[in-house]
Amino acid sequence: MYQHALLNRTLRACVLRRTPTTSLFPSRKWRGWLIVEAIEPVSTSLLLGTGAAVLGKKLYHYFYETCDENWLNFNATGLKHDLSTKLYGQHVAAQVVLKAVTGFMNNENPKKPLVLSLHGWTGTGKNFVSQLIAENIYQKGMTSNFVHLFTATAHFPHEDHVDKYKTQLQEWVRGNVSICPRSMFIFDEMDKMHPGLIDSIKPYLDFYDNLNGVSYRKAIFIFLSNAGGEKIVEVALDFWKDGREREEIQLKDLETALSLSVFNNKNSGFWHTSLIDKNLVDYFVPFLPLEYKHVIQCGLAEMVSKGHAPDKEVVEAMARDLNYFPKEERVFSMQGCKVIPARLDFYV
């Protein structure tokens, strides 16, 4: 209605003037007439105002992150590509993550939030995979306002304050999911997290339609920990000792390593929580310890990301100086790929 009225006013402001010229308009109908636009101040300012509002809205969507397809779009091909080209030595994790995230994101009406638990030795790519997932859902990746990373030691350092943390965490998750249902929450260092804390968000992970008017079904929760890491190493080492290919390791070979009994020790944040026995975790994702050849791959990628030409000799020199275990065999990198960015600087 408003735009109609505006259009009419503007049309009325267009005056048809008789002119002696006949050559400008080839059509008979228009011959001898020129349209002259008279500038009518009210209409013009209204038009400009509307234009500015539309432009403003566009700019707002452009600069301000909103919870819609402008900023949030799942790229299944991108995730598949990233997992197969950027993540090294994690064929089991890559497969599970791709299947889990793709299935979940393609479902417009999931019954519960996606809950992933990533386990493994240090520096094997758990945070890195969370980052790849975020980058293929949110345009701003890890810096998105809809991605929340909690680190036990940084965010919940004092055991005495657990009750306060519980309330804050519940409020944070509830508030953010009500702003954006497709929010992602990453809990790092689960091993160091007070079990009560995770218990406090447990209802959000379950099959509830909504809790106090908020539905958590479209959210993603990712837990990262080293729990089960040693058992995963044992499996990988057994394969190596038997002369079998690492790529032969299947998820089922690692299931015992990720079983409940492994988490029943007090070094694990899952300890006496009912996350596991209530089946709230959809996928346990094992990360294998990385070998020398993966360290080389990480090193070459790091050189490129630092703007250098990849140089195998430089990376090999760095990789040789890292620590490997078991001491005799030197099969797996002690720190995975974690120290590479810092170490490489000494060798470039």
Instruction: State which residue, 177 or 224, has the beta carbon closest to ligand ATP.
Output: 224
| Residue (of 162, 149, 167) closest to 193 by Cα position | 162
Q: What's the CA gap between 129 and 294, in Å, rounded?
A: 15
Alpha-carbon dihedral angle through residues 199, 203, 207, 210, given to the nearest 10 degrees:
-160
298 binds, among ligand ATP, Mg ion, none (CB under 5 to 8 A by kind): ligand ATP
The span from the CA of 205 to the CA of 281, in Å, is 8
Q: Is 101 in the site for ligand ATP (CB under 6 A)?
A: no
**Residue of 87, 184, 193, 205 interacting with ligand ATP (CB under 6 A):** 87
Question: Per rule CB under 6 A, is residue 273 in the interface with ligand ATP?
Answer: no
Task: Determine if residue 306 is labeled as part of a ligand binding site.
Answer: no
For the window 121-160, what string marks contact with Mg ion as x by the rule CB under 5 A?
A: -----xx---------------------------------
Contacts of 290 (CB under 8 A, 6+ apart): 88, 89, 121, 123, 124, 298, 332, 333, 336, 337
Structure tokens given for 346? 């000494």
How many positions of this chain bind Mg ion (CB under 5 A)? 2
Residue 121 known to bind ligand:
yes
Specify the length of the chain in residues.
Answer: 348
Q: Could you write out the DSSP letters of every residue in 200-255?
A: HHHHHHSS-S-BTTB--TT-EEEEEE-TTHHHHHHHHHHHHHTT--GGG--GGGGT
Q: Which of residues 234-293 bind Mg ion (CB under 5 A)?
A: none
Number of residues that bind ligand ATP (CB under 6 A): 18
- Mapping DSSP to helix (H, G, I), strand (E, B) and coil, where does residue 206 land? coil
- Cβ-proximal residues to 309 (8 Å cutoff; 6+ apart), any chain: 303
Residue with smaller CB distance to Mg ion, 127 or 200: 127
Residue from 125, 195, 286, 299 in contact with ligand ATP (CB under 6 A):
125
> Shortest gap between Cβ of 82 and ligand ATP (angstroms)?
10
> Which of 117, 144, 226, 268 forms a contact with ligand ATP (CB under 6 A)?
226
Q: Please check whether residue 317 is in contact with residue 272, taking contact to mean a CB–CB distance below 8 angstroms.
A: no
Q: Which of 75, 95, 102, 122 binds ligand ATP (CB under 6 A)?
A: 122
Distance CA 258, CA 256 (A): 5
**Minimum CB distance to ligand ATP smaller for 71 or for 88:** 88
Name the DSSP letter for residue 121. S
When the beta carbons of 182 and 343 are compared against Mg ion, the nearer one is: 343
Tokens of 334: 């002690």
- Helix ranges (DSSP H) in 148-216: 152-155, 162-179, 195-205
Task: Spell out the residues 6+ positions from residue 208 whose beta carbon is closer than 8 angstroms to its own.
Answer: 112, 215, 216
226 binds, among ligand ATP, Mg ion, none (CB under 5 to 8 A by kind): ligand ATP
C-alpha span between 174 and 181 (Å, rounded): 10
Q: Does the annotation flag 123 for ligand binding? A: yes
By Cβ distance, which residue is nearest to ligand ATP? 125
Task: Point out the residue whose Cβ comes nearest to Mg ion.
Answer: 127
* Residue 90 within binding range of Mg ion, rule CB under 5 A: no
Question: Residue 289, interface with ligand ATP (CB under 6 A)?
Answer: no
Binding to ligand ATP by residue 97, rule CB under 6 A?
no
125 belongs to an annotated ligand binding site = yes
CA gap 323, 310 in Å, rounded: 22
The region of 109-117, 205-213, 256-264, 330-338 touching ligand ATP under the rule CB under 6 A is 330-338
| Burial group, residue 111, by CB count within 10 angstroms (0-12, 13-18, 19+) | exposed
- Give me the residues paired with residue 291 across strands: 332
With CB under 5 to 8 Å by kind, the binding choice for 90 among Mg ion, ligand ATP, none is ligand ATP
Closer by beta carbon to ligand ATP, 72 or else 198:
198
Contacts with Mg ion by CB under 5 A lie at 126-127
Contacts with ligand ATP by CB under 6 A lie at 87-90, 122-128, 224, 226, 290, 298, 336-338
Q: Which residues are annotated as a binding site?
A: 120-127
Q: Which residues are annotated as a binding site for ATP?
A: 120-127
